[in-house]
Structure 1
Amino acid sequence: MSRALLSKRLDHLERHGLIVRSEGRYLPTPACEELRPMLFGLAEWGARWAFGEPRPDELDPVVLMWWICGGIDPAPFGGRRVVVHVRVPDARRTRFWFVVEPHDVSLCFTDPGYEVDATIESPLGVLYQVWEGMLELLAAARDGRLTLTGRREVLVRLPASLRLSPVTPYVRRGRAGLPA
């Protein structure tokens, strides 16, 4: 999504009382929070009835990396900087870096110049499945679907730092055909 389109959509949501801008961030209003059960209910319904696996042309590595960046919790790394290099050989953009600081996570599209602590190499579709919660990161590595290399103390903390998509529990339940 272009910055212009994102700005237009955020402005629209703000004008209609669904988000407020505070200290450089957008936060949901109570009206927005009341929509949460309906939106996640639609996600569950879609997983059960409407949507299959995404087609390769629907997978966008940049969007996925922004989502992952927003879900990284720095706390498991104990207050030190950690750099995670992600290589996606089958994507149009193949290299990304997450610089995880104690109170901030940055997504870099060029090498940030710090020593890399961990590397994830994975096909784009596998990373999407990890993000959606369909695959566990370490299980995907054990099965050879992706490769994890780097410092052991970082690799053991990596799964705890990666918070999954907020729709993961709903999608899992929808795919399992379980009632709400």
Structure 2
Amino acid sequence: MPEYGRYCPVALASEVIADRWTPLILRELILGNTRFNDIARGMPGISRSLLVARLRHLEKNGVIATYPSPTGKGSEYHLTPAGKDLERVIDSFGRWAIEWLFDELRPHDVDPVTLTWWMHRRIAADRLPPVRTVLEFRHVGAEQEVIWLVLERGEASVCIQHPGYEVDLRVTATTAELADVFQGYRHWDEAVKEGRIVVDGLPRLARALPTWFEWSPWVEVTHERAHRPVEVRAEVR
């Protein structure tokens, strides 16, 4: 762990949150993931040993607290008041990148499983149907995969094997098109109208489906940035 010195508040904060992967771990915790495996699933590419080390570092510095899982297996990680106060910092990170690094963003690099995992943690629990509802996502194109979301009792479960229940809605699209909607480059209704996303099932459920998701925390700022007119600069002679 680098020592930046304690003579400057930015240097001191950097010792806690500026290491690689640490802001993403905080993002997962802020979004409500409290179990080790759930945190790891949101960050494909991080090793388990490094995640353990980063969680210990955050706990040591008072950002998170570890509690026994109510299931009796493993532990859960919860933000302390200091950790919750970092939500505005992580939000600013995202907004800054959208404003100033927009052309470098690669939303289509996400794989089907990771995208579905992101979607499941952004469920609007109070808007879900009162009975169990099964969504089947058929990813077509270069990456072909079928993944299910089971919505029940205000929660969502990701299944990479058929859950054994009847499918209520089938969504067919490329991973890129779904990623565009999740991130905010395109709105759901727009993508459906243009045939980029096809939904099969009861019309009333199909109409309600987009309201069941909160999408990315930066969906609105991304949509505004993606549709901002390109500035034309006069050539200086």
TM-score normalised by structure 2 residue count: 0.65
How much has 1:83 moved relative to structure 2? 0.1
Q: Distance in 1 between matches of 2:93 and 2:224?
A: 12
- Conserved 8 A contact 1:86-1:97: yes
2:58 counterpart residue number = 13
Aligned pair in 2 of structure 1 residues 141, 173: CA closer, same or farther (>3 Å)? closer
Aligned pairs (5 A) from 1:45-56: 45-52=96-103, 53-54=105-106, 56=108
1:116 counterpart residue number = 167
Q: Distance in 2 between matches of 1:63 and 1:12?
A: 25
Report which stretch shifted further, 106-115 or 14-23: 14-23
RCO (CA 8 Å, sep 6+): is it higher in 1 or 2? 1
How much has 1:68 moved relative to structure 2? 0.3
Q: Distance in 2 between matches of 1:154 and 1:8?
A: 44
TM-score normalised by structure 1 residue count: 0.82
How much has 1:100 moved relative to structure 2? 0.4
State the AA in 2 paired with 1:89.
V
Q: Distance in 1 between matches of 2:140 and 2:190?
A: 20
Answering whether residue 222 of structure 2 is matched by residue 171 of structure 1, we say yes
Q: Distance in 2 between matches of 1:28 and 1:157?
A: 33
| Matched position secondary structure for 1:87 | strand
Answering whether residue 73 of structure 2 is matched by residue 28 of structure 1, we say no
Report which stretch shifted further, 152-161 or 1-10: 1-10
Q: Distance in 2 between matches of 1:90 and 1:23?
A: 43
Q: 2:121 aligns with which of 51, 70, 75?
A: 70
How much has 1:93 moved relative to structure 2? 5.5
Aligned pair in 2 of structure 1 residues 50, 117: CA closer, same or farther (>3 Å)? same
2:5 counterpart residue number = none
Q: 1:162 aligns with which of 213, 216, 223?
A: 213
Q: Distance in 2 between matches of 1:86 and 1:3?
A: 28
1:37 counterpart residue number = 88
Rg larger for: 2
1:61 counterpart residue number = 112
CA RMSD of aligned residues (A): 2.5
How much has 1:21 moved relative to structure 2? 4.1
Report which stretch shifted further, 12-21 or 32-41: 12-21
Structure 1, gaps ≥5 residues long: none
- Conserved 8 A contact 2:136-2:167: yes
- Conserved 8 A contact 1:87-1:95: yes
| Matched position secondary structure for 1:145 | coil
How much has 1:161 moved relative to structure 2? 0.5
Answering whether residue 150 of structure 2 is matched by residue 99 of structure 1, we say yes
- Conserved 8 A contact 1:97-1:110: yes
Report which stretch shifted further, 43-52 or 13-22: 13-22
